[in-house]
Structure 1
């Protein structure tokens, strides 16, 4: 972890926080810090700064230095991937600065995926926290489950897709090349399952005002396509 991310329940006094076992182990064994050494910390949904490490299991914040990195102006809509792929994908998009994520159903998504223990809120939060710590970010993404495709497209999407928001569907067929560098423009990006969106689903996206884009002739795995698309739309 590149940032020790402290949560409200860890707070002991105004400046003192009790470390979790994992945080204490990381600071002591990986960072090889001793009592009195300084470590970089962040407050969940707050600022980033420095704290003095106490090897008994605490840190005392003594300096707040900066705000977290700017978020991407993008809403990610993701057809629920396989559980192991979901973990990697969520960690990556969190590290890249996506702050609003919808996990939705698709005809090519196995219904059993929705029963995976990975989707328990505590497990999802742990994955998102790891992504934040990797990127030195503190702002927790908002993740919403939408296990029915049609109600999402017809009822939820219209409230997200305004005239100032560019709606894009990642789809390898009958699509234009994905745009490059949207700058500060807001967008919604919908990425389908391994087999792609069905014709019916593509039609529903297009009826709602979304347009199809591709990354070329190669068909990529979801965990690869997501960071490639984000990097193309919003270069670092």
Structure 2
């Protein structure tokens, strides 16, 4: 945890005010006490969810809670100009992908259906707990802005009715290792990237994505797991 994320409710009805005090008793307190082990007067890096970053001074610490005096004075890091479209991965993989995506600055994420997506994935508890995994990614990156997730359980209506508007004015790309162009050079421009399930999109799905304006790309001859492909592609598409 490189950032202690605070929530509006932590500050009570009045919300955040300069030099407000917050009392933490949950997993954030346990992490601070067990890992950071601060002394009175020490400063910790904090941020308000969907707000600014800043610092917090430890003014009291007991076996059950810690009290921080909070000052927020700087903006979170810029987001990637990226819309990520993922065929819904299996639950264990989805946890890691959500954290990685949030850590790398993705703010718009569509989870869609595809032929090779197991129907049981849509009832996974991981989807209900998606925000928890996104929070872990934000804490790792030192970011405060929560990504937005959209679920689309019907492939064809999404691709035909919504995707053209999503891709308009962006580099519209689908990761597909066959009959594809090499990954374009890194540039900080608006991008829409689609990544298929394990086993990839079937030819019909690729055709529909291409009809919606997406171009097939690859990053080499090796076939990657989705959880590996996501950070690999983001690193290739955007400057470090």
Where does residue 235 of structure 2 map in the other structure? Answer: 231
Trace 1:21-36 onto structure 2 (pairs within 5 A). 21-36=26-41
TM-score between both structures, scaled by the size of structure 2: 0.93
Cα offset, 1:181, TM superposition = 0.7
Q: Say which of 174, 189, 192 aligns to 1:188.
A: 192
Unaligned stretches of 5+ in structure 2? none
Q: Say which of 106, 112, 122 aligns to 2:120.
A: 112
Paired with 1:18 and 1:11, the residues of 2 have a C-alpha distance of: 8
Q: Note if contact 1:93-1:226 (Cα within 8 Å) is conserved in structure 2.
A: yes
TM-score between both structures, scaled by the size of structure 1: 0.95
Trace 1:156-195 onto structure 2 (pairs within 5 A). 156-162=162-168, 164-183=169-188, 185-195=189-199
**1:9 is aligned to 2:34:** no
Cα offset, 1:166, TM superposition = 1.2
> Could you tell which deviates more after superposition, 50-59 or 174-183?
50-59
Trace 1:126-141 onto structure 2 (pairs within 5 A). 126-141=132-147
CA RMSD of aligned residues (A): 1.1
Trace 1:43-192 onto structure 2 (pairs within 5 A). 43-53=48-58, 54-55=60-61, 56-61=65-70, 63-120=71-128, 123-162=129-168, 164-183=169-188, 185-192=189-196
SS of alignment partner, residue 46 of structure 2: strand
Cα offset, 1:148, TM superposition = 1.0
Paired with 1:23 and 1:37, the residues of 2 have a C-alpha distance of: 16
Q: Count residues in correspondence.
A: 231
Cα offset, 1:9, TM superposition = 1.5
Moved over 2 A (4+): none
